[in-house]
Every structure is written in C-alpha cells, then in structure tokens.
Chains A and B, each alone.
Chain A
Amino acid sequence: MHKYIFKRVLMMIPVLLGVSLIIFTLLYITPGDPARQILGPDASPEAVEALREELGLNDSFGVRYANFVIGALHGDLGISYTTRLPVATEIFSRFPTTFVYALLCTIVSMIIGIPLGIISATKQYSIFDNAATTFALLGVSMPTFWLGLMLILLFSVRLDWLPASGFYGPQYWILPAMTIGMNSSAYIMRMTRSSMLEVIRQDYIRTARAKGQTEYKIVVKHALKNALIPIITVVGINFGRSLGGAIVTEQIFAIPGLGKMMVEAISARNYPVVQGGVLFIAVATSVVNLLVDILYAYIDPRLSSQYQSGKKKKALQASEVTGGTAK
C-alpha cells in the first residue's frame, strides 16, 4: 500500500509539470501587458519598460518558464502584481476559507444526496422515486449562480433572515452551502440511485434475501458498500471542484476564497497568481484523487489486493491452490 501511494505521488510530478506548462503557455499568449495593467494608462513608456524588465517579462518563453518552475520547486510562486505579496501567502490566506466551504458543501450534499438516492433506488418507479429523480434533475439543471441569486432574493432580500454576502460566521455559510449543496447533492443522488439500482440486481443480494435477512440490512450491509465506489468518485470530484474554488458562487456571495482570487487575477492579468493558483489547485485535485483511490481500497478488498505488490499476490494464489486441495 505504501508502495502504491509512493508510486502515485511520483506520478503526480509529470502531471504537475504538464499543468504548469499548459497554464504558462496560455498566459504567455494572452494579449495585454501586465506592466501597463499595474501602472495604469497614464504611466510613461519608460516606467512601463522598467517594470517589464523588473518583472522578467522581457525574457524569452523558455527562461521565464524555467524560472517559474525552479521557483515553484522552492515554494516560491512569485509576487502578486496587485498586492505585492508572495503568491504562496495569498493562496494560503484564502485556502482555509475555500477548504471550509468545500467541506461544508460536501457534507451537506452527502447528507441529502445519498439517502435520497438509496430510497429512490429501493423504491424504483414509486411516486417518491419519480419526485426525487425529477427534483435531482432540476438541481443538476439549475445554474448555481442563478440559484444563488434566487436564494439571496428569498432569504436575504424578502425574508431578511440571512446575510447575502461575506464569510464571517455560520449564518454567512448557510446560503452558499445551500447553493452548491443543492447542485452537488443532485449529482450524488443520481449517482447513488443508479449505482444502487445496479447493485440490488446482483445475485449476492438474492443470496442475502435467501438467508432471511431484512430489507433494511440488505441495503445497509450488502448493497451500500458495493454501490459506494461510484458514489465516492462523484463526491471526490465535487470536493475537488469546490477546492478549486466554486468560482461563480464565490463571486455571488463575495466569499474571499481561491475561486474569487483566480477570477480577479485572470481579469487583472496577474500572471503569478494565476499560475500559482492553478498549480496549487492541480495539486489539491491530485491529492483528493489519491485519497479517493485509497478509500476505494478500504471499501473493495478486490482493489486493495490489486494495489499490493505482485509478490504478495502470488502468495495468495498459492494458498488458494493448497486450500482447494485440502479436504
């Protein structure tokens, strides 16, 4: 298992290099001069030129990319053009907000999505199922930015129950969590339903029934664990996505997280922040994916034996042969 994790971490290196190259190239070809952007339209051409030199913008593509990678390896992601703070500092000051928010949304969406999906699957074609699937499809179809605005309209403007924007205390979390939670719980519900439907058709569920097991236990003990892998995949994807900043939602609710930072940086041509941000998000996504894969192994013993080294696998096969002949 340790070996597997080590291998996966090693595999992250080329991915991250590729990510940095993709985003670096995109920014390189982006029109507009960051120096001009920083100094404003009234600055003299000399001042702009001097700043370009200072920021290293006059170097060739190769040199600039190499400098970026070398810096990143030392944990130095550059200096934000706008705030003049190190990009790493910027990211880590915003990350906790995004992380808390992502975690909150994930928990909310799981609490809503998984039970709904299970009930829908076990009562397929019932009124509940039809209502829940239609509701989930609506949830998937609703643009989050619109849902967010509507929730603000209802709960802050009309009812005046909850604050519309900011991120200072629990009451500020409710609307954003509902916005993303509705959307991702719909995804989770749909995946739970289809995964459970697949599982409850399996022969081993019939075996459990033939044992005289109760339907509740059949669902909880036999079916859910088997259905969990695709569900966890979706939860992981949603969590990873929110870690990258729920871009639009953070805009609407003025949450000072990574997503808001990224959008502002892109429109301000604040290259170091964009590069550093994307790299950080890619790392976060890869780590989440790795955690999800490790979780798989805990759920499905077939996968954990796949993760184990070849040597141990052979030993298992051997014991199987001897076990088969011992009578």
Chain B
Amino acid sequence: MKLLEIKDLTIHYVLDEDTVEAVNHIDLALEKGEALGLVGETGAGKTTTALGILGLIPDPPGKVISGEIIFEEENLLTKSAGQMRKIRGEKISMVFQDPMTALNPVLTVGDQISEVIKLHQNIPIAEATARACQMLEMVGIPAERINEYPHQFSGGMKQRVVIAIALACNPTLLIADEPTTALDVTIQAQVIDMIRDLRAKIGTSMLLITHDLGVVADICDKVAIIYAGEIVEYGNLTHIYNETAHPYTKGLFGSLPRLDIMVNRLNPIPGIMPDPTDLPQGCSFAPRCLNKCDRCDIEPPQNHEISPGHIVRCHLYAEDADDCREVK
C-alpha cells in the first residue's frame, strides 16, 4: 500500500524580481515501511519537497503551484492549517539538517521532547516527561540529562535529541533532511546506525534526503535522484546502483572516489546547476550533459519506465530517440 504519493508537485518561490522554480512536476511514491532516498546536489529542491509535504513552505515567498500530496489516501494540500498541525509531529515528523540551530536554546531538551508528546497525546504531564526520558535513553543519552539545555550537548548529541523529538509520537513517516551533513564523520556513522536501528524497531517509513549515495545504499530501499527540481531517475537500489540510466546519475557516480577501481582522477560533472530562476527551455541537465543531442535543448524530456519500477526522465530512453543514442 502506498503511504505517500506525490503527484506533479510544483513549488515556486515568488520573489520581487524573479521566481525561483524550486520544485517542478515531481512524482514520488513511498510504500509503507519503506525507506526512500532523495538524492541531489545542494539547491536541487530536496528540502523544499520535504517542507512541502509538511505544509511548512514559508509563504511568502513560497507557493505551491500545482500537484497533490497523498498521504494515507488523503491529499495534504487540501487540508486546513489545523488539520495539518495534527498530522505534523504525530503522523509525519522531520529531522532537520543542522542540529546546532534546530533546538530552541532557551528550553531544556526535556521540554522540547515532551512538548510534541503533550501536543498529540492526551496524557498527564508526568507521563509525558517519563516518555521523554525513555526517548532520550532510546537515542543513547542518559535520562538524567533531561533538564539540561541544548548548549550543554555536543553536535552529535543534539542531533540525537532532534531524532528523539521526531520519533516521540511513533510517526508513520519520518523525513530526515541531511541528518548527518553537519556532523563529524565519526559521529555521522553513529547517527546513521542509530536511525537504521530505530527504524527497524519502530517500523517507521522514511524519506531520507541526502547527497550521499553511500548512506542511501546503506539504509534505503528506493532511490530518487533529483536535479533542478525534477526527479530524473527513480528506482530500487539495483536499478540505480547497477543499472544506472540517467546521464546525471552516471555523473554522480563518476564523481565519487572509489577504492575498487584504479582511476587517475575523479570525473566531476562539468558546469554548475542551472539558475533556478532561469531554467533551460528543454532538459534542465542538457547544458552539462555528455549525451546531449539537439532535441534536449528544445523539448523537456518525459518519464520513461525502462524496466518495471525504474523510471528515467531523459530523451535517451524515448522510443524515437535514435539520433540521440548515435551520438553516444
């Protein structure tokens, strides 16, 4: 059963002079119990997608232009603010990128964990506090530190607290937005391990936003590659890692250092992401694409399902795209 299905979601930031086309016609699906990795560069629209699901796009300047976000068979975009508040934190919760700023510096961690419990569960305060202690222990922090303030914790431990807040109400869907980017490498591994273990324990579905293909291979079942606000490739781990189809995904793998293959230098993707206020007319990736052909500049590509569940948005896989394949 599909837990979350995003259809044709488009989100723009309307500024004074230009419009940032952050997310363009995204389709995504997440089965119950699954973990989906959303992979892309900085500025590709990952966080906007996540905030869109939670209904937290800052407005102004953010505007949801079109699309549907179906969660447990209901469209979140048509829900009222009050209904969304009931969903946020209870059904869908989020772990933010930077634990240094995600916690309120003037409230104790205990307050911040029990807050979400009190909001969504009608239980006495003492019970909520006890539950907050449990959550702290669960993320590996001694419960006696419940009355301490965020500045008394290290970065890795703050992220554990953020995770404790996110999981406190046993959400059906956890959105983790680059949960380890701001942390030291050694701490990153700990936090990733912890997320995997907790997910196994609670059975929460997860949308993991990251630019780290290694982490995705570690904990996700499905992968979506996002580029300039579009999903360019979607499939399971085998599809993405072994049957890589989209030139951008290939480029991503090419730019990773690998131990198993002898290379003299890495192969970074040439160029930079297009300006989201001024996207190319055709394929967004065309200016940087090594397989580019004439039609890529003119016509935006369609989704092509090249094997069951493996979708690629590229002219290379269109039936009538022989001219492109020759160039390759």
Do B104 and A316 have beta carbons less than 8 Å apart? no
Do A210 and B141 have beta carbons less than 8 Å apart? no
Q: Tell yes or no: B31 within 8 A of A by CB.
A: no
Q: Mark B72-100, 1 if CB is under 8 A from A, else 0.
A: 00000000000011111110011010100
Known: A300-B106, A301-B106. A211 touches B151 (CB 8 A): no
CB-nearest residue of chain B to A215? B81
One of A2-10, A199-207, A234-242, A243-251 contacting the partner? A199-207
Most chain-A Cβ atoms within 10 A of its Cβ — which of B89, B120, B156, B165? B89
Do B119 and A207 have beta carbons less than 8 Å apart? no
Do B119 and A213 have beta carbons less than 8 Å apart? yes
Q: How far is the CA of A300 from the CA of B142 in the complex (A)?
A: 23
Cβ–Cβ < 8 Å partners of B96 in chain A = 203, 206-207, 210
The size class of the interface chain A forms with chain B is 20 to 34
Q: Tell yes or no: B25 within 8 A of A by CB.
A: no
Q: Tell yes or no: B69 within 8 A of A by CB.
A: no
Most chain-B Cβ atoms within 10 A of its Cβ — which of A202, A316, A320, A323? A323
Do A299 and B106 have beta carbons less than 8 Å apart? yes
Contact pick for A323, options B84, B93, B141, CB 8 Å: B141
Q: Tell yes or no: A123 within 8 A of B by CB.
A: no
Q: How far is the CA of A319 from the CA of B144 in the complex (A)?
A: 11
Cβ–Cβ < 8 Å partners of A324 in chain B = 154, 156-157
Contact pick for A203, options B54, B98, B106, CB 8 Å: B98
Q: How far is the CA of A320 from the CA of B162 in the complex (A)?
A: 17
Q: Tell yes or no: A226 within 8 A of B by CB.
A: yes
Known: A209-B56, A320-B157. A327 touches B140 (CB 8 A): yes
- The 8 sampled A-B contact pairs (Cβ below 8 Å) are A204-B102, A207-B96, A211-B88, A211-B116, A213-B89, A214-B85, A225-B107, A319-B145
Q: Residues of B at under 8 Å CB distance from A?
A: 54, 56, 84-90, 93-94, 96, 98, 101-107, 112, 115-116, 119-120, 140-142, 145, 149, 151-154, 156-157, 162, 165-166
Do A302 and B157 have beta carbons less than 8 Å apart? no
Q: How far is the CA of A221 from the CA of B106 in the complex (A)?
A: 10
Q: How far is the CA of A327 from the CA of B187 in the complex (A)?
A: 13
CB-nearest residue of chain A to B91? A212
Cβ–Cβ < 8 Å partners of B151 in chain A = 301-302, 305
Do B106 and A226 have beta carbons less than 8 Å apart? yes
Q: Residues of A at under 8 Å CB distance from B?
A: 202-204, 206-214, 221-222, 225-226, 299-302, 305, 316, 319-320, 323-324, 326-327
Interface of chain A: mostly helix, strand, loop or mixed = helix
Q: How far is the CA of A301 from the CA of B103 in the complex (A)?
A: 13
Q: How far is the CA of A305 from the CA of B88 in the complex (A)?
A: 34
Cβ–Cβ < 8 Å partners of A301 in chain B = 105-106, 149, 151
Cβ–Cβ < 8 Å partners of B141 in chain A = 323, 326
Most chain-B Cβ atoms within 10 A of its Cβ — which of A202, A204, A206, A316? A204
Contact pick for B86, options A203, A212, A299, A320, CB 8 Å: A212
Cβ–Cβ < 8 Å partners of B104 in chain A = 204, 207-208, 222, 226
Do A211 and B101 have beta carbons less than 8 Å apart? no
CB-nearest residue of chain A to B88? A212
Q: How far is the CA of A203 from the CA of B90 in the complex (A)?
A: 19
**Top 9 closest pairs, chain A to chain B, by CB:** A212-B89, A203-B101, A212-B88, A211-B89, A301-B149, A327-B140, A211-B116, A204-B104, A212-B85
Do B154 and A320 have beta carbons less than 8 Å apart? yes
Cβ–Cβ < 8 Å partners of A300 in chain B = 105-106
Contact pick for B88, options A209, A319, A326, A327, CB 8 Å: A209
Q: How far is the CA of A181 from the CA of B184 in the complex (A)?
A: 51
Cβ–Cβ < 8 Å partners of B106 in chain A = 225-226, 299-301
Q: How far is the CA of A302 from the CA of B90 in the complex (A)?
A: 30
Cβ–Cβ < 8 Å partners of A222 in chain B = 104, 107
Q: How far is the CA of A203 from the CA of B101 in the complex (A)?
A: 6
Do A320 and B89 have beta carbons less than 8 Å apart? no
Do A226 and B102 have beta carbons less than 8 Å apart? no
Known: A206-B96, A222-B107. A302 touches B88 (CB 8 A): no
Cβ–Cβ < 8 Å partners of B154 in chain A = 320, 324
Q: How far is the CA of A299 from the CA of B149 in the complex (A)?
A: 12
What's the nearest-Cβ distance from chain A to residue B271, in Å?
31
Contact pick for B56, options A202, A206, A323, CB 8 Å: A206
Q: How far is the CA of A174 from the CA of B90 in the complex (A)?
A: 51
Most chain-A Cβ atoms within 10 A of its Cβ — which of B106, B112, B140? B106
Q: How far is the CA of A300 from the CA of B105 in the complex (A)?
A: 8
What's the nearest-Cβ distance from chain B to residue A196, in Å?
14
